[in-house]
Structure 1
């Protein structure tokens, strides 16, 4: 599965990679090289992050589904109990 990002986000990511190289490495990286590096990370490392995010989302949803019974549970046969309370 290929991870695609919008053009505007890709442009900002490439600028960020160029800035990272300027500030942290001994050499600059050109726009094409930064684009290639981003493509590499999206293809090679991106699926790891994506899969972890899906796993995290599944775990959170499963926890919410387990809590659903407590949040929306209604006691059954409450009509007569309510009626009897009003009579007292």
Structure 2
């Protein structure tokens, strides 16, 4: 999911995520982050970590659909 397949967020979603990162650091680490630092952390997550979560979602969906297809075969008439 590099470059052209990069996750795109709306301005509202990005701002909400940046606010959540800032709140996390303040509440959990007692560190105040600015918008730039939180934005850089978000970009790191999107570029380096999000692809793994995406791939896990694809795999979980595949497993789910595979199980449903097996169920479909059980209704065959002989």
TM range (shorter): 0.7 to 0.9
Number of paired residues?
74
Give the TM-score normalised by structure 1: 0.76
TM-score of the pair, normalised by structure 2: 0.84
Misfit runs of 4+, over 3 Å: none
- RMSD of aligned residue pairs (Cα, Å): 1.3
1:23 partnered with 2:27? yes
Matching residue of 2:54: 50
Question: Is 1:4 aligned to residue 4 of structure 2?
Answer: no
Decide which structure has the larger Cα Rg and report it: 1
Q: Which residue of 2 aligns with 1:83?
A: none
Offset of 1:12 from its aligned partner? 0.7
Unaligned 5+ runs, structure 1:
76-88
